[in-house]
Amino acid sequence: MGMTMTQKILASHAGLDSVKAGQLISAKLDIVLGNDITTPVAVNEFNKAGFDKVFDKDKIAIVLDHFVPNKDIKAAEQSKQCREFACSHCVSHFYDVGKMGIEHALLPEQGVVTAGDCIIGADSHTCTYGALGAFSTGVGSTDMAAGMATGTAWFKVPSAIKFNLTGKLNSDCSGKDVILTIIGMIGVDGALYRSMEFVGEGVSTLSMDDRLCICNMAIEAGAKNGIFPVDQVTLDYLKGRSEREPVVFEADEDAEYEKVIDINLSEIVPVVACPHLPENTKPAKVLSDIKIDQVVIGSCTNGRIEDMEAAYKVLNGKKVADGVRCIIIPATMQIYKECIEKGYITAFIDAGAVVSTPTCGPCLGGYMGILAAGERCIATTNRNFVGRMGHVESEVYLASPLTAATSALTGYITAPQEA
């Protein structure tokens, strides 16, 4: 029996001719990632274990993005510990204020991750990089510590679900609507410890930003990873960007999948995940009676330039509804700069929105957008669990940037219109 794309990457990094689902392996790592919340825990474990050096200073990435610029003394102490560790071990991929961005937007943008890589990160949304044709998955801080020291990690090889994409998205939809639709179909445990492998003729119609968004939320279906094949869209994105030569893996024709799910992209409609799970999806058009207090457009899911463009198209020349707080967060400094150069920032401010330096803050209820009891937010983030964005009696609705921006204008959840 042949191997899936994920299994081929893992076999290569384990130095094996082949692997099969359920097999335990030790694989070499191309990148080990941590952020300002998870890295301090990993550093403590690193020191406790008696390690005195990292396996490769060029294969460690530390991104200060959750509470930076620091929101309080604890955040400042955590960031200081990260800075001191990065300095003492000469970590080359260290991103602090002025260079930082939301980690899962920053690493692809900067070429730190590439096709064929095996990547772990002490953040559950590390699965984002599967959009580039890499195996990437989230781990705990202890695993991050071991990875920084040894350059290896152990895995149980996942089985896979194939998602066969056909057709093309309508203009009122994006990758966010695709992945929310899928999670609504299979549930938050529908791909538990599986690889979600996206294939089919519809793949070529999806932009890299769409693919990054889709893989980012694979974890919300319980998946070990999400992954797209490497095609011309991928290669064009990686060209002149990747630090290492991309390595292309392809699934065997006789690869084994637990199931195959067909998705016609042309049948996707704007959807919203209602509280309190990403699987609780409904068409946006049936939620028009739900009043909102806040809109957040950003995060590692939807803070990229296409997301900013979508918000601009809706908000330019218009006004955010009275009583609605609209917060827009470009995911990296490069995206922020591009928004300035294109006039997006001015348009956002003129519309009555606020624009922040890159941060994960509101997504996890950290800062820059905390909800009070009874408040509702429609957000382009990835989780809407109880208390995720603040008070346990608040509500978070997940949506695409188009839907979120359209809702900001009306003050109610509102489906975008096709162009």
Inter-helix orientation angle 305-315/333-341, to 10° = 40
What sign does the dihedral 356-361-366-370 (CA atoms) show?
positive
Quote the CA–CA distance of 144 and 238 in Å, as a whole number: 26
25: which residues sit within 8 A by CB, 6+ positions away? 10, 11, 14, 16, 19, 154, 155, 157
Quote the CA–CA distance of 19 and 4 in Å, as a whole number: 10
Say if strands 376-379 and 294-297 run parallel, antiparallel, or are unpaired: parallel
Quote the CA–CA distance of 166 and 410 in Å, as a whole number: 33
SS3 state at 417? coil
**Which is nearest to 364 in space by CA: 343, 383, 379, 377?**
383
pLDDT 10s per residue in the chain (419 long)? 799 999 999 999 999 999 999 999 999 999 999 999 999 999 999 999 999 999 999 999 999 999 999 999 999 999 999 999 999 999 999 999 999 899 999 999 999 999 999 999 999 999 999 999 999 999 999 999 999 999 999 999 999 999 999 999 999 999 999 999 999 999 999 999 999 999 999 999 999 999 999 999 999 999 999 999 999 999 999 999 999 999 999 999 999 999 999 999 999 999 999 999 999 999 999 999 999 999 999 999 999 999 999 999 999 999 999 999 999 999 999 999 999 999 999 999 999 999 999 999 999 999 999 999 999 999 999 999 999 999 999 999 999 999 999 999 999 999 998 75
pLDDT at 321: 98
Tokens read off for 321: 């509804």
pLDDT at 419: 59
304: which residues sit within 8 A by CB, 6+ positions away? 105, 209, 212, 213, 331, 335
Residue 32 forms beta bridges with which residues?
A: 60, 120
Domains in the chain: ranges and CATH: 5-264 (3.30.499.10), 271-410 (3.30.499.10)
Amino acid at 16: L
Helices (H), 249-383: 299-302, 305-315, 333-341, 344-351
Long-range CB pairs of 374-377 (<8 Å, 24+ gap) are 375/293, 375/294, 376/290, 376/291, 376/292, 376/293, 376/294, 377/292, 377/293, 377/294, 377/295, 377/296
SS3 state at 300? helix
**Which is nearest to 64 in space by CA: 27, 28, 89, 91?**
91
Strand residues in 239-357 grouped as ranges (E): 259-264, 271-273, 281-283, 294-297, 325-328, 354-355
Could you check whether the bond before residue 401 is cis, i.e. omega within 30 degrees of 0? no
Whether the Cβ atoms of residue 406 and residue 416 lie closer than 8 Å to each other: yes
**Which is nearest to 271 in space by CA: 209, 179, 362, 394?**
179
Inter-helix orientation angle 175-186/208-216, to 10° = 30
